[in-house]
Amino acid sequence: MKRGGQMVYSGELGQHSSRLIEYFEGIPGVPKIKENHNPATWMLEVTSPSVEAQLGIDFALIYKESHLYKRNKEIVKSQSLPAQGSEKLQFSTPFPQNGWEQLKACLWKQHLSYWRSPKYNLARLAFTISSSSFYGALLWQKGQNLCSSVLPFISTQRTIVYRERFARMYSSWAYSVAQVIIEIPYIFLEAVLFLTITYPAVNFYGSAYKVFWYFYTVFCTLLYYKYLGM
């Protein structure tokens, strides 16, 4: 295909691309392929827009008027007709797996995506540590309230689109729920780091009850900003 999505050749390649070479060399003005030259590279070179302009031809138009194009159309037409006596295919569901299996597969995909691309999560954990240290010291000095130390933690959700979604291997809800669930352990770790650094730095009152509600507030705030970004 050339720029614009127009077909310039569709057919058999042949031994060492002999069919492809024979087709393009049969077009008047197209230079012959040199010995030991890569046929794929040669084909791209001779069908480039500059060569089209130089020769004053349109490879897409030539292909549409060729016997190869007509033969391909006939093949497609013949193969599109169902065999005599065959039954129409029917599926009870558009997806090959039930909802639970889809969710497990999507969760595993999200987990592997994060595990194989650690820069994103390592960066936000490093940001949590550095920012909580800075804001903890700032709060201790100026006595600011908790909200001012939590609000800066607005992170951007990476957009992950899988080809399987468009192939209807999984439903949209399975991907969405998986993206929501996979963030929870990472945000939990962020909240723990934030609590560990800022709570003693600000010198808040030390009680399990207050520590729990401090953690709960930070955790829910981070979840809120993350899901709002999604």
Place of tokens 């299996």: 101
- pLDDT score at 90: 76
CA 33 – CA 30 distance, rounded (Å): 9
Say what the pTM is: 0.45
pLDDT in tens, the chain (230 residues): 888 888 889 888 889 889 989 999 998 888 899 888 899 999 888 888 888 888 888 999 999 999 899 999 998 888 888 878 888 877 777 777 777 888 888 888 888 888 887 887 788 888 778 777 766 555 555 444 433 333 333 333 334 444 545 545 556 777 778 888 888 988 999 899 888 888 877 777 778 888 999 899 999 998 898 888 87
List all residues 6 or more positions away from 119 whose beta carbon is below 8 Å from its beta carbon: none
CA dihedral in degrees (49, 51, 55, 59; nearest 10)? -60
Nearest Cα neighbor of 213 from 114, 167, 134, 146 is 146
Sign of CA dihedral 54, 58, 62, 68: positive
**Residue 222's closest CA among 196, 199, 190?**
190
